[in-house]
Amino acid sequence: MSVSAQRERVARATSQIRLLYELRHRARRRPDPIDVSRFAARRAREIFDADGCGLLVLDADRAHLHFAVASQSTAREDSASRLAAVRVPVEHSIAGWAVRHDRPALVDHAVDDPRFYAHVDRQTNMETRAVLCAPLRTGQGPVGAIEIVNPASSSLGPSDVRFVEALAAEIGGVYERKRLDDLLGRQLRRFAGLVLLVLGIVCGAGAVLAHLAWALPLGELAARPALQAAAVATATGTALLGLGWRKDRDGR
């Protein structure tokens, strides 16, 4: 290896370590998956001087991936909007292979690889030559992949694959924390809904019994503040329970 190539590798490794540190710090301050992904994709593209870097996330059917984030070089900026509309099949793509097998992939000649999905190039007028990608791992398995397209360096090796794998793990961790936060939120909504529903039913029954015990006119029953409060609590509890069930059904 020439001296210039060694210097390039050392400089790249230094930038990679710095990015992992910055990403972890950013994830603590702003734990939003899309914000973290945009930052990571832009910096990874710059480190590898690549044409693009994208975060592909599984659709609800888990049969396709979509570009949640796409950071393109200046010469390829017009392709970013087109990527947003592209769906990549999990069964017939390099990123999909990484997700299905939970393994990183370094492909030097993409067009010769049977896993390569050429439709993306046709949709974006790009020419994919090389791909470096790794799965975004969570407690529920991979939810997508980070994919670096056409890295400029010709001396990529195992250390670069390990870096992209570590980068994907950091991003996957942010998605996992978001999933757990959403799960906790749904559980709290269901619990609050159940409490309000039971409280509303009990209070409503108590208001009716008290009204009857005092032999008050039935026409005045609906105007009793206790019964109105019970109705509000019951309706709110039912709405919270329904919201929690709908979000569970939709996988959010």
pLDDT recorded at residue 249: 64
Out of 159, 178, 197, pick the residue that ends a domain: 178
Neighbours of 24 (CB within 10 A): 13
Query: DSSP 3-state assignment of 2?
Result: coil
* Domain span at 202: 182-250
Are residues 210 and 129 both part of a single domain?
A: no
Are residues 191 and 163 both part of a single domain?
A: no
**Block mean pLDDT (10 aa), the chain, length 252:** 75 91 85 90 94 94 93 79 90 96 95 94 90 94 95 82 95 89 82 84 86 73 81 86 70 52
Are residues 7 and 105 both part of a single domain?
A: yes
pLDDT recorded at residue 117: 95
> How many domains is the chain partitioned into structurally?
2
Are residues 188 and 99 both part of a single domain?
A: no
Are residues 138 and 201 both part of a single domain?
A: no
Q: What's the CATH number where 26 sits?
A: 3.30.450.40
Are residues 239 and 193 both part of a single domain?
A: yes
Are residues 36 and 91 both part of a single domain?
A: yes
Are residues 59 and 164 both part of a single domain?
A: yes
Are residues 114 and 15 both part of a single domain?
A: yes
pLDDT recorded at residue 157: 87
Please give the model's pTM, rounded to 2 decimal places.
0.77
d(CA 69, CA 223): 55
In terms of Cα–Cα distance, which of 115, 109, 160, 132 is closest to 51?
132
Q: Three-state SS string across 26-78, please?
A: HHHHCCCHHHHHHHHHHHHHHHHCCCEEEEEEECCCCCEEEEEEEEECHHHCC
pLDDT recorded at residue 247: 65
Are residues 189 and 174 both part of a single domain?
A: no
Are residues 209 and 148 both part of a single domain?
A: no
Are residues 91 and 35 both part of a single domain?
A: yes
